[in-house]
Amino acid sequence: MKVATWRGGDRFTIDELPDPAPGAGQVVVDVLAAGICGTDVHTVQGLFPRPAPFVLGHEYSGVVRETGRGVNPRLVGRRVACEPSYGCGRCDPCRLGRVSQCASCVRVGGFAERALLPADCVHPLPRGLDPVTAALAEPAACCLAGLEAFRMPPEATVLVIGGGLMGLLTLALARRRGARRLVLSDPVEERRRAARRLGAHAVVDPAREDLRDRLMALTRGRGADVVCEAVGRPDLVAQSVALTRFAGIVNLVGVSPQGSRLPLDLLDVQYREIRIGGVFGRGTAFRRALALLPSLGVERLVTARFPLDRIAEAFAHAAAGKGTKTVITPAGA
């Protein structure tokens, strides 16, 4: 099988490896679509330390090719969404369903023709969901896990800062969780249009208008009940705090580079009783996110597809901020 191996920097090689053979409790999946995540781009840019060589890609779907002993053979031929990692099953994070934080976490890269996974990590697609959109299940699960970490305030105004994939998925899921008014801020017109399609009541171009003035006009000076920072920039997290109402919530969706520091006045947070929190990884939300995907209207968020042998070009495209989501299609989905 072919595998795209990251070699450090912006270098990839396409390598031939033996086809994986499933052991007990395992399946082999032919990868149909694998999304390039912002953290993949940041890894290539050196912002997230990770040793090379490594097979990246943790947002993927496929079709079950082969099953191992103890796995229902009827899974063969089923299209599935894949949870890309698994833990030791014994540590505190694993017992809490937080395998991403397991010190022994195994991550199975999706930028390859095939992936070998535990059978528990693959989930048949809901009716009507195509495999390319199904590759959004993992990022949707991360967004949903963050929103499930708090109770959505009644009649909530939710501001999302950043209209990349994570911001737009957060917007769509916040609507499903009961937000009354949705506001999105992003300087890219294409992303603001996508936000409107997903139900945003107002969109803001922060390069042309003052976000604070617009938000305060919309909320009669209160600020947002929930502000979701979906870029991963400490200065925008500080701005999020300033835009949050008394006793409101700041939800960290974007992942800031390791070593980032937060420039804010802690007394401001304590005096206004603002809660700041975030979730790393999908937690236990993957199946719930997958079930919601067909009803979210997010099919058009996948804006570019590249074959496996053009992965370096695909990463350059994603890093340039073109479109919303770039996917690799090893099987030509």
Residue tagged 């698994």 (tokens): 86
Q: H helices within the chain, ranges in order?
A: 38-44, 92-95, 131-134, 137-147, 165-176, 189-197, 211-219, 234-242, 266-271, 286-296, 311-319
Determine the number of helices (DSSP H) and then strands (DSSP E) in the chain.
11, 17
- Decide the pairing of beta strands 2-6 and 12-16: antiparallel
Residue 258 pLDDT grade (very low, low, confident, very high; cuts 50, 70, 90): confident
Amino acid found at 102:
C
pLDDT at residue 49 above 80? Answer: no
Kindly report the pTM of this predicted structure.
0.94
Count of beta carbons in the 10 Å neighbourhood of residue 95: 11
pLDDT at residue 332 above 70? Answer: no
* CA-atom Rg of the chain in angstroms: 20
pLDDT at residue 270 above 70? Answer: yes
- What distance in Å separates the CA atoms of residue 247 and residue 117, rounded to the nearest whole number? 43
Asked if 170 and 143 count as a contact pair (C-beta separation under 8 A), the reply is: yes
pLDDT of residue 264: 85
Residue 259 pLDDT grade (very low, low, confident, very high; cuts 50, 70, 90): confident
Cα angle 300-304-306, degrees, rounded to a multiple of 5: 140
Summarize the confidence of residues 38-55 as an average pLDDT: 87
* Residues constituting the chain: 333
Count of beta carbons in the 10 Å neighbourhood of residue 65: 19
Residue 180 tokens read as 């009354």
pLDDT of residue 15: 96
- What distance in Å separates the CA atoms of residue 333 and residue 328, rounded to the nearest whole number? 9
Residue 115 half-sphere exposure toward CB, CA atoms < 13 A: 36
Asked if 333 and 32 count as a contact pair (C-beta separation under 8 A), the reply is: yes
Amino acid found at 196:
R
pLDDT at residue 313 above 90? Answer: yes
Residue 265 pLDDT grade (very low, low, confident, very high; cuts 50, 70, 90): confident
Q: Directed axis angle between helix 137-147 and helix 165-176, to 10°? A: 60
- Decide the pairing of beta strands 244-252 and 122-124: unpaired
Query: What's the whole-number average pLDDT of the chain?
Result: 94
- What distance in Å separates the CA atoms of residue 267 and residue 274, rounded to the nearest whole number? 10
What three-state secondary structure class fits 310?
A: helix
Torsion angles phi and psi, residue 16, rounded to 5: -100, 125
pLDDT of residue 257: 79
Q: What is the pLDDT of residues 176-223, one digit of tens each?
A: 999 999 999 999 999 999 999 999 999 999 999 999 999 999 999 999
Summarize the confidence of residues 60-78 as an average pLDDT: 96
Range name among 113-127, 199-213, 253-267, 302-316 with the lowest pLDDT average: 253-267
Q: What is the pLDDT of residues 113-125, one digit of tens each?
A: 999 999 999 999 9
Residue 303 tokens read as 């804006």
What three-state secondary structure class fits 299?
A: helix
